[in-house]
A and B are shown apart, each in its own frame.
Chain A
Amino acid sequence: MTTLTRGAWGYAGASLDFKTGNWRSTDKPVHLHAKAPCHAACPAGEDQQAWFALLQEGRAQDAWEALVAANPLPGVTGRVCPHPCESACNRATLDGALAIHNVERWLGDEAVAKGWAYPLEAPAGDAPVVAIVGAGPGGLSAAYHCLRLGLKAEIFEAAPQPGGLLRSAIPPTRLPRAALDAELERLLALPGLTLTLRARLGRDVSLDELSSRYAAVLLAPGCQEGKEWDVAGAVPTDHREGLALLREFMDHGSFPEAQRVIVHGGGNTAMDLCRLMKRAGSEHVTLVTASGLPGPNTAPGDLINVVPRELEEALEEGVEIIDHATVGRLIMKGSKVTGVEVVSLRKLPGGDGRTHRVAFEGTERILPADMVIPCIGERVDPEGLEGLLERGYLRPADSWGSLSRPNVYAIGDASGQSGTVAAAIGDGRRAAEALALRLAGEVPVSDARPVLEAPQLNPRYYGGGARPHVPKLPAAARDFDSEIEGDIGRTAALAEAQRCLSCGNCLACDNCWTFCPDNAVIKTQELASDGSHYLFDLDYCKGCGLCAQECPTGYIQMVPEEG
């Protein structure tokens, strides 16, 4: 026991002997790396926050490598993806979502231009081989992820060229073939990947054969068959289905002559077809769709399923759209169409709890037409997949794509639930990850982390800044080859990265370290195991919650003290 005398002194910093951490009554701070909403919304599974963080430091190649850890085709998705990441971006609540797809595209193109190598090693000589059916985005992504996980991949593609709908259906004005080819060539040249063209499942090879010869089989055949279409039992004799017309146009560069075209349906096929036919010289191109156009009164489930930008551009180009309507009757002269009767309708809840389409009497109107083209979707070609299809699709049992048949997985459009390039890419990754784990005797688990919502950010610490200007061809200058949306360029891409809020992940801003009144935040790049540069010294933290409150990114959360 120290004797108290006049002139005595306390040793410097001796208060460290007194552990104020035991004052914490309820909560303690923890680092919690929640999912950024862009990442959670990305069907391909990219972690945009992670690659923006690298770009903020000017490390473009590292950013690209982080990006292609999930999506090997950023040059493609940067051009065609409907970018749900941007719709989810927390910055939308401040001054506009990040231009994620523009930066993604720039990174993809930059990698091609600079020849950056995909960050993976050749699989071992005796690595298991996975068979993949279809070289669309789903099959290609699956193959790439097999390589990343140390497996070999062998793709069987029915067509003479790889790419699936990217090549056969998406117009070059949205996806220039040079950009597509550049990325596909680099991908297909990776060691351990074999591509056999003109090899069709069902004709050239059977599923039983593949199952017995390969460690696993991934099915990514897409949807190639038009659904049957008629209007009250009537079908014109010269009837052509939308996707088939589009494909023909891609091959031969011409459409059948028609001045007044009615496109019936919705989706990307309808949108691309309308725009190309309008550009090819049809005077009136009218889309009749049961869905609604974007607007304050349109419920998300009722919204037309197209890339918003494409819809905007179609309207700019003079495509007419009749929404909330259907073709109720074909007006025929012999077996040729001369007009259609259009009637308004709505999707309304019925007594059985499901939604029904209700057409409204008295809203009928007649439009002259010399061609009616259905675009009501496609289904899987059943050849070679006998016994696996369920109501037209492969319909896997879980998010890994597992089918009832062991070691067989379904990916992309064929699984009947995705419908975008990014979704097919994500499916390919998840299936490859699951099968790699299962081959190693392990069980795949999904990422159950919470999503970081905008109210958890502290917006006071972020600067302002508007989205970059994106160059675009004016409607009058659009043809069949020139790309419509332009490149934002290096300067704008790097500037845009600075707008990222780093949702849910530490940006090493020092706020917690600066603001803790108890010196209980320790800065240490070396020892922080969780990716941040800081530790909480719970011996002294009093649990005031200041650090969590002032953390801009929501990376610090107060959680109940265990016990």
Chain B
Amino acid sequence: MSDPTPSGSSMPDNPRLAELRRKHGRPPQAPGAEPPQITPRDSQPRFRGLESGHRACQGCGEALAARLVMESAGPDVMVSNATGCLEVFTTTWPQSAWRVPWIHSLFENASAVASGMEAAMKAKGKNTKVLAFGGDGSTYDIGFQTLSGMLERQHNVLYVCYDNEAYMNTGVQRSSSTPHAAATTTSPAGKERMGKRHLKKDLLSIIAAHHIPYAAAASVAYPQDLQRKVRYAMGIEGPTFLVIHSPCPLGWKHDSCLTIEVARRAVECGLFPLVELERGAVTNVMPIRKPRPVRDYLELQGRFRHLFAEDPRAEEEQAHLQALADHNIATFGLTGDAEDPADTGGAALVHRGGPLASGGF
């Protein structure tokens, strides 16, 4: 399936053919030859920017989020990707799951590399959009300085943070995005503490303070909403930012089949509000049709198991998380006035023939 290496034996002798092949990646058709076999995979009605064969865990929310982003952003994009799971599981040498130009930066400088790529494109007079990808560790913590710089310099880059709420690639260490009371290897639950002592950083507000044209939060549980936000950001000339809530079955300790359900409950309970900000002001939110207790979200995940122990502290921490969710709901006005086709109930609806078919429920 993969193309042979340039020095491989199937390299055609004809230098012109070789040049075309280098350019287009597929040998051009000789007149009268059998047409190349088009597999069902080749003819999918969507852009496959991130291919199968990557080494993400079963049910990985980050792999799903990246695939969804690539579908709506591609094909005319190039990516700068910080160190982390996404970078590691997509590019096991000599294979790559990417079908766009893609560069691995360091853990801390995806935005700096992206800034350079964007400047290069500009210098060459090209419109190719530059994307920068990072995990939450890379975005909220170590790469934050370069990100802030990139936003401040107004580079035309869409930065996507795949937020799985810990340093997953190195074995689940807490980040500033890890929610309060979640257990990680560096914020274990035990006698001293009930998981992480501190709160999840309110990154979007900090991003918004850069006064950039567009910053938004999305979730893998609402793929149409997620892709709409990607398309909207792609249409903006200037720095844009998207943080995507991406459950990690391994680190959050939930069944691999529950990735979407966990993500959905995070939105429905108010802990992960789906908001959009333009020039620092909230311009849109996804209203919650029927707010769910935070407990429903916590109970699916092993990282919160200690909150269900017979322990007064457990009860207190659950109440704390509920208060944080309620605070989000109040701050962003997440309880709509009436049923709304774009609220958490309406945005989930499917109908015969899929999202592109007309009519429906």
Contact = CB atoms under 8 A, between A and B. Distances in A.
Given A522-B41, A548-B257, A15 B58 contact: no
A70 to B, nearest CB: 22
Contacts of A15: 51-54, 90, 92, 95-97
Contacts of B353: 57, 507-509
B91 interface: yes
Interface stretch (B1-9, B142-150, B228-236): B1-9
A257 interface: no
Contact of B94 (A10, A23, A524, A527): A10
Interface in B171-190: none
A58 B358 CA distance: 11
B350 A461 contact: yes
Contacts of A518: 52, 54, 56, 63
Contacts of A9: 96
B333 interface: no
A539 B68 CA distance: 21
Contacts of B357: 508
Contacts of B339: 464
B94 to A, nearest CB: 5
A502 B350 CA distance: 12
A460 interface: yes
A10 B93 contact: yes
B350 A13 contact: no
A460 B264 contact: yes
B354 A460 contact: no
B96 A12 contact: yes
Interface in A432-467: 460-465
B350 A511 contact: yes
Interface string B47-79: 010111111111111011001100000000000
Given A518-B54, A519-B67, A546-B260, A510 B95 contact: no
B291 interface: no
Contacts of B44: 522-523
Nearest to A20: B53
A388 B92 CA distance: 76
Contacts of A19: 53
Interface residues of A, number: 60
A549 B257 contact: yes
Given A23-B58, A545-B257, A11 B3 contact: yes
Contacts of B257: 544-546, 548-549, 558
Interface residues of B, number: 63
Contact of B95 (A4, A14, A509): A14
B52 A520 contact: yes
Interface in A61-100: none
B223 to A, nearest CB: 5
A517 B61 contact: yes
Nearest to A527: B40
B163 to A, nearest CB: 16
A53 B351 CA distance: 11
A259 interface: no
B264 A18 contact: no
A522 to B, nearest CB: 5
Contacts of B264: 460
B251 to A, nearest CB: 15
A517 B60 contact: yes
B93 A509 contact: no
A310 interface: no
Contacts of A537: 41, 52
A219 B258 CA distance: 55
A404 B348 CA distance: 56
B24 to A, nearest CB: 11
B1 A17 contact: yes
A17 B95 contact: yes
A259 to B, nearest CB: 55
A491 interface: no
A542 B90 CA distance: 15
Q: Considering residues B59, B255, B256, which has the most beta carbons from chain A within 10 angstroms of its beta carbon?
A: B59
Contacts of A545: 58-59, 255-257
Contact of A510 (B55, B100, B249, B355): B355
B45 interface: yes
Given A11-B5, A18-B92, 14 more contacts: A10-B94, A11-B96, A13-B96, A14-B95, A17-B53, A502-B352, A511-B350, A514-B223, A517-B67, A523-B45, A537-B52, A548-B257, A550-B260, A558-B257
Q: Which 8 A-B pairs have the closest CB atoms?
A: A545-B257, A15-B53, A510-B354, A10-B96, A544-B59, A14-B2, A509-B350, A540-B52
15 contacts: A10-B96, A11-B3, A13-B98, A18-B95, A461-B348, A463-B349, A509-B350, A513-B354, A514-B68, A517-B59, A518-B52, A519-B48, A535-B40, A539-B52, A549-B261
